[in-house]
Amino acid sequence: MKAVYAGSFDPITLGHISVIERALKIFESIHIVVANNRSKNHLFTLKQRAELVQSSIPEQYAARTVIAPYEGVVADYINANGIGAVIRGIRNATDLEYELQLEQYIRNTTEAETVYLSPYTQHMQTNSSLVRMFFQSGKHELASHYMAQGAYNLALLYEMGGKSK
């Protein structure tokens, strides 16, 4: 069965990667939908975020993942691609409350089932907001503890005015 793991991934963290790794133990393939959340002021462009995700996926999982930058409603992507499950990451009770509300939308607009996975214990406190704060405050080296090395190097390049702006 195919699953989708959608988020803004601004930027992708080791917490996200651990959810992807756990999901790949269950599902044959994962579509990682890099979405634009209109309520967020993104640090990285959609294209950059997709490239950060691509650079974070361990090589042994690359053939089983599809990186999909997407501007539309994720439910439309799910329906158009025959996705059977939606992966959602849960770190705490606050995440769960939000995710349960989102599940109602998914349940009413798709045939997909929602599966909740938590990151590995060492990444439970990792979140993109914290990593963005490190980048925005010039504390780039602190962000390196929360990101895959390839994504961190690429994010630094983007921050310094490098490719894909």
Q: Determine whether the annotation assigns residue 74 to a binding site.
A: yes
- Is 42 annotated to bind a ligand? Reply is no
Residue 125 marked ligand-binding: yes
Distance from C-alpha of 104 to C-alpha of 93, rounded to nearest angstrom? 17
28 appears as a binding residue in the annotation? no
Known binding residue 88? Answer is yes
Q: Is 126 annotated as a binding residue?
A: yes
161 labelled binding-site residue: no
Contact present, 83 and 3 (Cβ < 8 Å): yes
**Was 31 annotated as part of a binding site?**
no
Residue 16 assigned to a binding site: yes
Q: Is 91 annotated as a binding residue?
A: yes
Cβ neighbours of residue 5 closer than 8 Å, sequence gap 6 or more: 16, 19, 20, 23, 30, 31, 32, 33, 86, 87, 89
Q: Which element (helix H / strand E) includes 71?
A: none
Q: How far apart are CA 30 and CA 27, in angstroms?
A: 7
**82 marked among binding-site residues:** no
Residue 90 assigned to a binding site: yes
* 123 known ligand binder: yes
Q: Which residue ranges make up the annotated binding site for ATP? A: 8-9, 16, 89-91, 99, 123-129
Q: Which residue ranges make up the annotated binding site? A: 8-9, 16, 40, 74, 88-91, 99, 123-129
Q: Which residue ranges make up the annotated binding site for substrate? A: 8, 40, 74, 88
